Chains A and B, each alone.
Chain A
């Protein structure tokens, strides 16, 4: 089976093309650094595997996602490469192309976003480009699928892609060094193209250096490079060897672009200019961002999501419950089965399914923001605040993704360059309120703050961010000695997200929620119902005598100072560690509520507005869920940091809930 790798600069549409050429679907968005892992899919025509790599500017990695791409090229050996370049940014993109051509594998150049380039009055002569580089050049619009058929049929006969003959001459001095290094490499087997290795070595690419170090003594090679560098310095050609290689490439690209590009009618990005004038305005930018976030929650809870959720609730509590009841009666099911299905599964899973519309609306809006190009602007707006807190604005993209789910958000932190910034972003992620916590807020807000639901829920998210910022300052100061951070972000042109991309991207995010409903929430509901049905006294005991009550009763005294010291509240917290949605499932089961209204009634009797706020805050902060713990371990590669993230959450949640409840009591609220 042949493997073909997709390589190119960040945000040039590699994943869009990947999704079109394979039957799989991967995450797309309009900022640099969406793809942070190697993704593998099968080509639609069965011609082999396609590998999607994180975007890179050069083969010399700075951040962890870029390391993935460089590592792949040296350690694995794809049969061919597809190099995707942004037609409206040809000059910058070609720098990587030259290094890929030196890699020596058959390469196809995908000239993507040809529509954007044309709209901006940039004309690329693909025939001349093809002729000069000596590789097939195909114009593409990956987002709409234009030109993808041609690529697919070309890859159908990947053996037919001609080998690369491109060779750039780096001047006598450098060429002499390349030849001697190549000679040293001669006895080595299983290496990619030797000339490429030699050039990467001379550029001090750390991935190539490490790779060679593990297989041979490289001191001699390094010496050859150093000698070449002093020679260049002596002749006043360049300060360093990497700089020399780069300038030779740049000169070549400049002369190539003169031939290939026609920029006579080039126009500025009108839409982007106008939107940026407003959205990144020095005074209006931040208030607009806050307004957009408010509108996001208003739509999710009041305008669209809420009414839809009520419909689903009516369906579950009405036709579905009644249908199940009468069907079970008709089948003559035992009391046990009947109770398991109605009180356990329908109550537990149904209680969470009710929130599906709200969660999908939230995902739809997040997908819209991701695809529009606004995310990068949010980083820009937030950077000065974040800098004061010891982090950088780039952390805001993972934070917003974290509102959907913390797991992909922690992965997204890979595109942050500095290890310290990446670590802080990962550690603070559990404070970003994910969609699994949303049912708890929605439920409590509907009971205690029916007039201001969106505001109540938004405050939880804001609270999470505020604590993240405060802890960021503390961690940065205590753990990282205020090491300075760097910030640079590419601002992609804005674009109108397509319906196709939006629906796909919303579905992919929401799918996980539905899958959880069918697996972990279902299993959790059954187990919780069982331990609430059984007790030391046998089966079908009163709920207060069940194992669940005994167990919750153990935790309850600890929670009393927080205002919710009942066994019911206590017993929701432990299963909530598996998946936060289970908190609401457990409540539905415990309170035997046939529908949301029933549950709301029960809750209004057990909680007071003050203890409800305290409980919501506790759920917001108390612990990262099991899946998040797993990904924190994987990304930090340290149990110490993983336990640290769990520990600080628990301490923070307890302290804040305690302070809120106790001071609320002092003021006479209850």
Chain B
């Protein structure tokens, strides 16, 4: 299987992908994401981008949540 990797932030709104790697994220945030089941291998959907370069909205396991773009850029996803 070939991997098409890019950061979560580069995706167009509305796309669903699977998480390849979460790296270099603040440990508190990483724990919070894990609490919501946002882990490597999980499907995630980019719902929307907030105003003034604000947070982006994501959906994972049916749960909606928002994180900042800086952090989203450190989530590497697999387009395939």
Residue of A at shortest CB range from B47? A276
Query: Contact partner of B53 among A60, A384, A486, A493, CB < 8 A?
Result: A384
A393 to B55, CA, bound (A): 10
CB atoms of A285 and B51 under 8 A apart: yes
Q: Is B2 an interface residue (CB 8 A)?
A: no
CB atoms of B37 and A283 under 8 A apart: no
* Chain B neighbourhood of A91, CB < 8 A: 37, 61
State how many angstroms separate the Cβ of B5 from the closest Cβ of chain A. Answer: 20
CB atoms of A383 and B37 under 8 A apart: no
Q: Mark A270-306, 1 if CB is under 8 A from B, else 0.
A: 0010001100111101100000000000000000000
* Chain A neighbourhood of B37, CB < 8 A: 91-92, 95
* Chain A neighbourhood of B52, CB < 8 A: 286, 384-385
By size class, the interface of chain B is 20 to 34
CB atoms of B51 and A282 under 8 A apart: yes
CB atoms of A58 and B35 under 8 A apart: yes
Q: Is A213 an interface residue (CB 8 A)?
A: no
Q: Is A212 an interface residue (CB 8 A)?
A: no
Q: Is B63 an interface residue (CB 8 A)?
A: yes
Residue of B at shortest CB range from A57? B35
Q: Mark B9-51, 1 if CB is under 8 A from A, else 0.
A: 0000000000000000010110111111101000000011111
CB atoms of A491 and B64 under 8 A apart: yes
CB atoms of B67 and A282 under 8 A apart: no
Residue of A at shortest CB range from B48? A280
> Contacts A486-B28, A488-B67 known; A92 to B36 CB distance under 8 Å?
yes
Q: Is A381 an interface residue (CB 8 A)?
A: yes
A387 to B69, CA, bound (A): 12
Q: Which of A77-127 contact B (CB under 8 A)?
A: 88-89, 91-92, 95
* Chain A neighbourhood of B57, CB < 8 A: 276, 280, 380, 491
Interface residues of A (CB under 8 A from B): 57-58, 60, 62, 88-89, 91-92, 95, 246, 250, 269, 272, 276-277, 280-283, 285-286, 380-381, 383-385, 387, 393, 417-418, 484, 486-493
CB atoms of B36 and A487 under 8 A apart: no
For the complex of A and B, the 8 pairs showing the least CB-CB separation, nearest first, are A57-B35, A384-B54, A491-B64, A384-B52, A486-B29, A282-B51, A380-B66, A486-B26
* Chain A neighbourhood of B47, CB < 8 A: 276
* Chain B neighbourhood of A393, CB < 8 A: 55
A489 to B36, CA, bound (A): 11
State how many angstroms separate the Cβ of A212 from the closest Cβ of chain B. Answer: 21
Q: Mark B63-74, 1 if CB is under 8 A from A, else 0.
A: 111111001000
* Chain B neighbourhood of A281, CB < 8 A: 51
* Chain A neighbourhood of B51, CB < 8 A: 281-283, 285-286, 381, 384
* Chain B neighbourhood of A246, CB < 8 A: 34
Listed A/B pairs (20) with beta-carbon separation below 8 Å: A57-B36, A89-B62, A92-B36, A92-B61, A95-B37, A276-B47, A276-B48, A280-B57, A281-B51, A282-B50, A381-B51, A384-B51, A384-B54, A384-B55, A486-B26, A486-B71, A488-B29, A488-B33, A491-B57, A491-B66
CB atoms of B64 and A383 under 8 A apart: no
* Chain A neighbourhood of B71, CB < 8 A: 486, 488
Residue of B at shortest CB range from A392? B68
CB atoms of B50 and A383 under 8 A apart: yes
A276 to B36, CA, bound (A): 20
A281 to B54, CA, bound (A): 11
Residue of A at shortest CB range from B51? A282
CB atoms of B65 and A387 under 8 A apart: no
Interface centre among A62, A484, A493 (most CB of B within 10 A): A62
> Contacts A62-B32, A285-B50, A486-B29 known; A88 to B66 CB distance under 8 Å?
no
CB atoms of B31 and A380 under 8 A apart: no
State how many angstroms separate the Cβ of B47 from the closest Cβ of chain A. Answer: 7
CB atoms of A417 and B28 under 8 A apart: yes
CB atoms of A490 and B28 under 8 A apart: no
CB atoms of B61 and A488 under 8 A apart: no
A456 to B46, CA, bound (A): 41
State how many angstroms separate the Cβ of B71 from the closest Cβ of chain A. Answer: 8
Residue of B at shortest CB range from A56? B35
State how many angstroms separate the Cβ of A381 from the closest Cβ of chain B. Answer: 7
* Chain A neighbourhood of B48, CB < 8 A: 276-277, 280, 282
Interface centre among B29, B36, B52, B65 (most CB of A within 10 A): B52
CB atoms of B63 and A490 under 8 A apart: yes
> Contacts A57-B36, A276-B47, A489-B65 known; A62 to B55 CB distance under 8 Å?
no
A280 to B51, CA, bound (A): 8
CB atoms of B29 and A88 under 8 A apart: no
State how many angstroms separate the Cβ of A58 from the closest Cβ of chain B. Answer: 6
* Chain B neighbourhood of A384, CB < 8 A: 50-55
A88 to B71, CA, bound (A): 27
A269 to B63, CA, bound (A): 10
State how many angstroms separate the Cβ of B8 from the closest Cβ of chain A. Answer: 14
Given contacts A486-B68, A492-B64, 17 further A-B contacts (CB under 8 A): A58-B35, A60-B31, A62-B32, A89-B63, A91-B37, A277-B48, A280-B57, A282-B51, A283-B51, A285-B50, A383-B54, A486-B26, A486-B71, A487-B66, A487-B67, A489-B65, A489-B66
* Chain B neighbourhood of A385, CB < 8 A: 52
CB atoms of A272 and B54 under 8 A apart: no
Residue of B at shortest CB range from A285? B51
A380 to B62, CA, bound (A): 18
A417 to B28, CA, bound (A): 8
State how many angstroms separate the Cβ of A115 from the closest Cβ of chain B. Answer: 16
* Chain A neighbourhood of B53, CB < 8 A: 384
* Chain A neighbourhood of B67, CB < 8 A: 487-488
CB atoms of B55 and A380 under 8 A apart: yes
A276 to B33, CA, bound (A): 21
* Chain B neighbourhood of A277, CB < 8 A: 48
CB atoms of A418 and B28 under 8 A apart: yes
CB atoms of A487 and B31 under 8 A apart: no
A385 to B50, CA, bound (A): 12
> Contacts A57-B35, A62-B31, A380-B55 known; A488 to B66 CB distance under 8 Å?
yes
Interface centre among A91, A280, A285, A381 (most CB of B within 10 A): A280
Residue of B at shortest CB range from A282? B51
* Chain B neighbourhood of A490, CB < 8 A: 36, 63-65
CB atoms of B61 and A89 under 8 A apart: yes
* Chain A neighbourhood of B65, CB < 8 A: 488-491
State how many angstroms separate the Cβ of B19 from the closest Cβ of chain A. Answer: 14
* Chain A neighbourhood of B66, CB < 8 A: 380, 383, 487-489, 491
